Structure 1
Amino acid sequence: MKSQKAYEKVFSFEFFPPKTDEGAEKLRKAREALAELKPKFFSVTYGAGGSTQARTLDTVLEIQRDARFEAAPHLSCIGSTREHIREILELYRNNGIRHIVALRGDMPSGMRGEPGELRYANELVEFIRQETGDHFFIEVAAYPEMHPQAPSYEKDLENFKRKVDAGADSAITQYFYNADAYYHFVDSCEKMGVTLPIVPGIMPITNYTQLARFSDACGADIPRWIRKRLEGFGDDSAAIRAFGEDVVTRLCEKLLEAGAPGLHFYTMNQAGPTLAIWNNLGLGGR
């Protein structure tokens, strides 16, 4: 973990594109509340197979118009073509965007089709560099507990290194609740000569059913003791939130004390849970 301490601490928040006008207004309010914390950037997700492309763009451009903050759209390559990705990159460049989260992505649920001209995230990173040079600061994904589709931990590390070697500037991890998984991942990367910033992804706990579903889908482990406590609260949402806030605050404290180069919060378009954790950490308005 020593080399991670050398990097500036970067704090950022992630949103998903709203589907309705009501959702858009809710997101604006959440963004304004979180803007008080002066994050480095706001990222915006991109649906499976690029299914939310237009809404992602609208949300990103709204953030970008606020000169105080940097917008970082997600861009996935699965099911797409080089020409289509080239058009998106040009659109972002023309709108002053200089930060991208480059991902392989997933095909929409229930759909089968060609994986596209670029099949993996490292190919997408390489393509972005070929097309735009150093215009974009490129984030990639990291999986401390292993990507759910990786054949082994070692193969997953090799895949991560390919993304770094292709030109990534920084990485954001899948969320996790076991700090040791993050430490081990960072140490394993350093042994391979990979020393870029690896920022922990943080998921506040507010709804156990939803969290369990997300975690099963993405391969994030919920430690047994956390599962048992959450199950024991039943439908007591206030108790779940209070317990979740305490667990995630302690996790963030451990990570920052150990030298993690910042935190990236998966907000689920809500300000409250992230604000509570932030205030517990005493980070103030940066």
Structure 2
Amino acid sequence: MSVIEKIKNAKGPLFTFELLPPLKGHSIERVYSAIDRLVEFDPAYINFTSHRDEIIYSERPDGLLEKKIVRKRPGTIALAAAVKYKYNLTVVPHLLCGGFSREETENVLIEMNFLGIDDVLALRGDPQKGSRTFIPEKDGHSHTSDLVKQIINMNNGKYLEELLEDTTPTSFCVGVAGYPEKHNEAPNRHVDLENLKLKVDSGASYIVTQMFFDNSKFFRFRDECKAIGINVPVIPGIKPISALNDIRMLPQTFHIDVPNDLVNAIKKCTTDKDAREVGIEWAIMQSKELISKGVPGIHYYTLGRSDNVARIVRASF
């Protein structure tokens, strides 16, 4: 059953969460341990992030710098497949524009189809590390809407090689990201919503939002989506604070606001453990209100900390 089918057939709000592939050289067992803490709550699906290659410079013996291209967290598709068949769960790997040509994208989608993975979250991805501007690969996509169109074309049996005959249509269910506080590159909220509508009009079946800490911003976003003609389900994304530094790091990294009440509560903490407890209570408060307002589900960004998400879900659902 695809994600959109799960949403439509659900008798209550769905619980879903996101995990990162392990760093290169680390074991998949760490991912399994994270899932083991959450599987009792019957997650509707698990997202797996994708991480584009990075450019690094290392010093050679002669003192000159050597440019290298590395991928620190490879294995997204293989990890998703391993989890799908180990736990019999729906998995949703991320698929990025950044770092992939259209042909490479098609090949990844073919592999996913062969593996029985029919759900995908389509994202543009961040600019190359060290760059402020997103630059697509040669013959790659500049916008998520174009990536969505390519996926939907494959669902219609249309591949990049137009001369292919008797092609087999795929059956991907595509999700996309939404930004309650506006994507940082959009000049204003209206343009950002128009971009989101283009992704939906291109074939996306549902929206998962960027993390936020003020529910009123999500409710405003949901209303604005309806007003502009976006009628697919909108799933809120929640990330619990887990360290003192989060109130500084998260706004810088994800371009979001942290409410004063939460900032003041964290400032009273003296240890990361104290901050983590505040973060859990805040996320429980958010989750309960969101559920009371009829959201189709809540998506939790674990960032490697599934134990606190388990406490939040146990108290909220």
Tell me the TM-score normalized by structure 2.
0.82
**Within 1, Cα distance between the matches of 2:79 and 2:284?**
29
**Within 2, Cα distance between the matches of 1:127 and 1:246?**
42
**Within 2, Cα distance between the matches of 1:42 and 1:276?**
17
Contact between 1:46 and 1:52, CA under 8 Å: does it hold in 2? no
- Say whether 1:64 aligns with 2:64: no
C-alpha displacement of 1:107? 2.9
Alignment correspondent of 1:123:
146
Decide whether aligned partners of structure 1 residues 132 and 259 sit closer, same or farther in structure 2, where only a CA change above 3 A counts. Answer: same
Secondary structure in structure 1 of the residue aligned to 2:86? coil
**Within 2, Cα distance between the matches of 1:266 and 1:122?**
23
Decide whether aligned partners of structure 1 residues 211 and 92 sit closer, same or farther in structure 2, where only a CA change above 3 A counts. Answer: farther
**Within 1, Cα distance between the matches of 2:14 and 2:49?**
19
Decide whether aligned partners of structure 1 residues 68 and 35 sit closer, same or farther in structure 2, where only a CA change above 3 A counts. Answer: same
C-alpha displacement of 1:241? 1.6
Partner amino acid, structure 2, of 1:169: S
**Within 1, Cα distance between the matches of 2:94 and 2:272?**
31
Alignment correspondent of 2:232:
196
Partner amino acid, structure 2, of 1:105: G
Partner amino acid, structure 1, of 2:226: E
Alignment correspondent of 1:269:
304
Write out aligned runs for 1:203-222 (5 A).
203-210=239-246, 212-222=248-258
Identity of aligned residues (%): 27
Secondary structure in structure 2 of the residue aligned to 1:48? coil
Alignment correspondent of 1:75:
95
User: Which is bigger in relative contact order (C-alpha 8 A, separation at least 6)?
Assistant: 1
Decide whether aligned partners of structure 1 residues 38 and 6 sit closer, same or farther in structure 2, where only a CA change above 3 A counts. Answer: closer
**CA displacement, residues 87-139 of structure 1 (integer Å, 9 cap, x when unaligned):** 00001001000110000012331268841321011111011101233611111
**Within 1, Cα distance between the matches of 2:254 and 2:200?**
21
- Say whether 1:254 aligns with 2:289: yes
**Within 2, Cα distance between the matches of 1:113 and 1:263?**
29
- Say whether 1:106 aligns with 2:126: yes
Contact between 1:49 and 1:80, CA under 8 Å: does it hold in 2? no
**CA displacement, residues 211-245 of structure 1 (integer Å, 9 cap, x when unaligned):** 531321211211122112212213x2222122111
- Say whether 1:280 aligns with 2:315: yes
**Greater shift after overlay, 221-230 or 42-51?**
42-51
Secondary structure in structure 1 of the residue aligned to 2:128? coil
Alignment correspondent of 2:14:
10
C-alpha displacement of 1:20? 4.8
What is the aligned residue count? 277
Structure number with larger C-alpha Rg: 2
**Within 1, Cα distance between the matches of 2:44 and 2:247?**
26
C-alpha displacement of 1:167? 0.3
**Within 1, Cα distance between the matches of 2:252 and 2:136?**
23
Secondary structure in structure 2 of the residue aligned to 1:140? strand
- Say whether 1:137 aligns with 2:173: yes
| Structure 1, gaps ≥5 residues long | none
**Within 1, Cα distance between the matches of 2:193 and 2:244?**
30
**Within 2, Cα distance between the matches of 1:60 and 1:52?**
17
Decide whether aligned partners of structure 1 residues 52 and 38 sit closer, same or farther in structure 2, where only a CA change above 3 A counts. Answer: farther
Contact between 1:171 and 1:199, CA under 8 Å: does it hold in 2? yes
Write out aligned runs for 1:224-235 (5 A).
224-234=260-270
Decide whether aligned partners of structure 1 residues 89 and 252 sit closer, same or farther in structure 2, where only a CA change above 3 A counts. Answer: same
Contact between 1:63 and 1:69, CA under 8 Å: does it hold in 2? yes
Contact between 1:7 and 1:261, CA under 8 Å: does it hold in 2? no
| Structure 2, gaps ≥5 residues long | 1-6, 55-70, 157-169
Partner amino acid, structure 2, of 1:11: F
Please identify which structure carries the higher helix content. 1
C-alpha displacement of 1:54? 3.6
Partner amino acid, structure 1, of 2:78: D
Contact between 2:18 and 2:301, CA under 8 Å: does it hold in 1? yes
